[in-house]
Amino acid sequence: MNKLISIALLVLGGILLAYGLNANDSVGSGFSRFFTGAPTDKAIWLIIGGSAALLVGLGGLFSGRRST
């Protein structure tokens, strides 16, 4: 995987994760947690997407083709 793409995925993953954690602490998510016991779907998907992008970006950075 190209290093530039891996770095872009790391940045995108960090942004998505930050938005997801922020959405998890929102008023709407608080109401959802009060009535259903779970945060909103948007917060969950942002956290999952951010985590996945971070993992793929890290994997791309550390598992590259090595030239000898």
- Specify the pTM: 0.81
The predicted pLDDT at position 40 comes to 85
The predicted pLDDT at position 2 comes to 85
% of residues, the chain, pLDDT over 90:
50
User: CA-based angle 29:34:35, to the nearest 5?
Assistant: 100
* Local structure of 26: helix, strand or coil: coil
pLDDT(26) > 90: no
Kindly report, residue by residue over 28-51, the tens digit of the pLDDT. 888 888 888 888 888 899 999 999
